[in-house]
Amino acid sequence: MNLQENTTSETTGLKPTKPDRKKFDLDLAYGQMHEDKVLDMLENKKVEVKTERGMWTSTGNIAIEFESYGKPSGINATESDYWFHNLAVNDEVYCTLVFETKVLKKIVEELDDHRIVSGGDNWASKMYLVNLSKLFSTDTLKIYKQLSTEASNEENTTD
């Protein structure tokens, strides 16, 4: 048996056959568009990077600072376009959550299930304590869709 013959795209299914080509082209274009968005994000935009250590693994919560020493800080002061939130385990980044900063700010403000806690140096910072499961729940996705619709409507009225 020739091993080379069994590795053709038709045999493995790893590459599209001619009938699948149209969908493949659409999927490829879609993937490339989003790759370009990530590239633009990393090369041409301002990013804020925060890292959660330890506690999130047992609580399922992340902390998003919004005030320190009575002044806006964190999410309320950043000029970043994107908010990168690393989740670390034993000082290794397990994953990174990426949000448009303005979207994350609105979502956190709209969530009905977040607590405000103090922390940081001298306990002078205030933070939203946000549960990761809630952050990605269907309720939160509804908030996101509503925000997207509102933003789209605003763009259409200013054109």
In the structure, what pLDDT confidence band is assigned to residue 6 with cuts at 50, 70 and 90? Answer: very low
pLDDT in tens, 95-121: 999 999 999 999 998 887 779 999 989
Q: Is residue 2 pLDDT above 60, yes or no?
A: no
Q: Is residue 21 pLDDT above 70, yes or no?
A: no
Residue with more model confidence, 87 or 8: 87
User: How many CB atoms neighbour CB 117 within 10 A?
Assistant: 13
Query: SS3 for 136?
Result: coil
Query: Distance between CA 20 and CA 87 in Å, rounded?
Result: 38
- On average, the pLDDT of the chain sits at 84
Between the CA atoms of 89, 93, 96 and 102, what dihedral angle is there, to the nearest 10 degrees? 90
Q: Is residue 73 pLDDT above 70, yes or no?
A: yes
Q: Is residue 5 pLDDT above 70, yes or no?
A: no
In the structure, what pLDDT confidence band is assigned to residue 16 with cuts at 50, 70 and 90? Answer: low
The arrangement of strands across the sheet holding 125-131 comes to 71-72, 61-68, 125-131, 114-119
pLDDT at 100: 94
pLDDT over 70 percentage in the chain: 82
Q: Where are the alpha helices (DSSP H) in 8-135?
A: 9-12, 21-44, 55-59, 101-110, 132-135
The 3-state DSSP composition of the chain as helix, strand, coil percent (nearest 5) reads: 50, 30, 20
pLDDT at 37: 87
Token pair listed for 156: 């259409």
Query: Distance between CA 76 and CA 105 in Å, rounded?
Result: 8
pLDDT in tens, 47-64: 999 999 989 999 999 999
Amino acid at position 98, single letter: V
Q: Is residue 81 pLDDT above 60, yes or no?
A: yes
Q: Among 130, 139, 122, which residue's Cα sits nearest to residue 104?
A: 130
pLDDT at 57: 96
